[in-house]
Amino acid sequence: MRKEIQESELIFNFTANETRGVLLEGSTPLEIYYEYRDHKDLVGRIFKGKVIRVLPNIEAAFVDIGHEKAAFLEFSDILFSEKNPSKGVRGGRPNIKLGDEYLVQVTKNPVAGKGAKVSNILTFSSRYFVYFSGIKRISISSKINNKNERERLESLMSEFLNQRDLSDGVIARTMAHGIDEAILLRDLDSLSRMCEQVRQNSKLIKPKNCLYESLALPMRIIRDFPTKIIKKIRVDSEHEFHMLTHYLSEYSPDVQTKIDFYQGDIPIFDEYSIEEQIQSAYQRSVNLPSGGNIVFDQTEAMTIIDVNSGQFNKGKDHDEMALLLNNEAIIVIGQQLRLRNIGGIIVIDFIDMMSNKFNQIVYKKFKEIMRKDRVQNQIFPLSRIGLIEMIRKQHHNSLYQEMFTICSQCHGKGYQLSGSMLFYRMVRTLKHRILKDNLKSISVSVGKTIFRYYNKYGKSQIKILEKEINTSIKLSLSTIDPDGEYEIDQ
Contact 390, 378 (CB under 8 A): yes
Q: Is the pLDDT of residue 236 over 60?
A: yes
pLDDT band at 110 (very low <50, low <70, confident <90, very high): confident
Q: What is the pLDDT of residue 92?
A: 53
Distances (CA, A) of 388 to 171, 235, 324, 340, 378: 32, 39, 17, 19, 11
Q: Is the pLDDT of residue 410 over 80?
A: no
Contacts of 332 (CB under 8 A, 6+ apart): 286, 288, 294
pLDDT band at 87 (very low <50, low <70, confident <90, very high): very low
Q: How far is residue 317's CA from residue 158's CA, in Å, rounded to a whole number?
A: 61
Nearest to 366 by CA among 318, 338, 333: 333
Helix axes 318-339, 356-370, angle to 10 degrees: 20
Task: Decide: pTM greater than 0.85.
Answer: no
Give the pLDDT confidence of 167-200 residue by residue, as tens digits: 899 999 999 999 999 999 999 999 999 999 999 9
For Cα atoms 310, 311, 313, give the angle at the middle one, nearest 5 degrees: 120
Q: What is the pLDDT of residue 2?
A: 37
Contact 323, 314 (CB under 8 A): no
Contact 62, 53 (CB under 8 A): yes
Q: What is the pLDDT of residue 490?
A: 64
Q: Is the pLDDT of residue 82 over 50?
A: no
Q: What is the pLDDT of residue 305?
A: 95
Q: What is the pLDDT of residue 1?
A: 35
Lowest-confidence pick of 413-427, 447-461, 462-476: 413-427
Nearest to 28 by CA among 276, 219, 372: 276
Q: What is the pLDDT of residue 119?
A: 94
Nearest to 285 by CA among 308, 269, 311: 308
Give the pLDDT confidence of 295-325 residue by residue, as tens digits: 999 887 899 999 998 766 655 678 888 899 9
Helix (H) or strand (E) holding 274: helix 274-277
Give the pLDDT confidence of 335-375 residue by residue, as tens digits: 999 999 898 999 999 998 888 899 999 999 999 999 988 88
Amino acid present at 455 = N
